[in-house]
Amino acid sequence: MARLRRNLSFATVLAGALLVSGCGAVISRVSADLADNLSTAILNQNDPELVREALPSYLLLLDSLNGPDSENAATLSAAAQLYAAYGAALVSDYDRAKILTTQARDYGVRALCASEEDTCGIDTLPYSDYETVIAGLGSDNRDALYSYSLSTLAWIRAHSDDFKALAALPKVELALKRVMALQPGKLAPSTSMYLGILNTLRPASLGGRPEEGRDWFLRGIELSDGKDLGIKVEYARSYARLIYDRDLHDRLLNEVLAADVQQPGLTLFNQLARIQAQELLDSADNYF
């Protein structure tokens, strides 16, 4: 599905990948202070290329912390998210992307299982049983559920030529809605954004729910107090382009270009959003 590939941008996936624990749990066995400082440095970095170049080394560190016997939901979650970001957004070779996002999904499944035994083997469940298990998860499982959702979404994106992978989209949407129901705090804006994207993958005539998607985008903007510029970019890309609303499209993107990207914990995402906003504006005449 081409729209799924386009709509899950580097900024979109990386934003989700870094938010769940601020990377603070990634190397908790080594040094919590180092982890927190590393997280802050990444989130407040205004040079996206530096982050792109640094992530592979970080992935190897995560692998070293997550051997086959690891049951640490926090480190498994971090691995799931960053493998998702790297595989879905930084690799142009589809075969490599499939390998990396499969690794991400494996970590996501393990993270959820480590957080709640009832979820072990969840990917093999029919939808009705899956729905029951997801409904039974509580706030203690929220971060792992978010990681599972994000990594599965990245895996679907990389395998969007496989209808079996696309069939998992309703399960991802259900999981993300459960995350929202569990009052996810700082995860709420990005979760809302992902739900907006999922509901605008198709026009209404083909079963999509663009107006519901619009409501999720607006909720995400409100929850972030308008500071997460990536949500406005996705709102323009996914909704405004879908319904061919040029005025909304250009207004949102010009708001991004005029905004201050320097926001604690959002500078990197906002810098990426500004780059994408300009690219979308530059291509608008050919689209509309």
Per-residue pLDDT of the chain (288 residues), as tens digits, is 555 555 555 556 555 555 554 444 444 544 344 444 555 666 666 776 777 777 788 788 778 878 888 888 888 888 888 888 788 767 778 899 899 999 999 999 999 999 999 999 998 999 999 999 999 999 999 999 999 999 998 898 888 888 888 888 999 999 999 999 998 888 899 999 999 999 998 889 988 899 999 999 999 999 999 999 999 999 999 999 999 999 999 999 999 999 998 887 778 788 888 989 999 999 999 999
Other CB atoms within 10 A of residue 243 CB:
15
Question: What pLDDT does residue 157 have?
Answer: 82
Question: What pLDDT does residue 57 have?
Answer: 81
CB-based contacts of 12, cutoff 8 Å, min separation 6: 89, 193, 194, 197, 230, 234
Task: Quote the pTM value.
Answer: 0.83
Question: What pLDDT does residue 163 have?
Answer: 85
DSSP letters along 9-34, please?
Answer: -HHHHHHHHHHSSTTTTTTTTT-HHH
Question: What pLDDT does residue 14 have?
Answer: 56
Do 252 and 259 touch, CB atoms closer than 8 A? no
Residue among 282, 280, 274 nearest 255 (CA): 274
Question: What pLDDT does residue 246 have?
Answer: 97
Question: What pLDDT does residue 24 have?
Answer: 46
Question: What pLDDT does residue 160 have?
Answer: 80
The tokens describing 171, both together, are 């399960």
CB-based contacts of 80, cutoff 8 Å, min separation 6: 104, 105, 107, 108, 110, 111, 147, 148, 150, 151
CATH numbers and ranges of domains, the chain: 1-182 (no CATH), 184-288 (1.25.40.920)
Question: What pLDDT does residue 37 have?
Answer: 55
Length of the chain (residues):
288
Give the max Cα distance, the chain.
Answer: 53
Other CB atoms within 10 A of residue 122 CB:
18
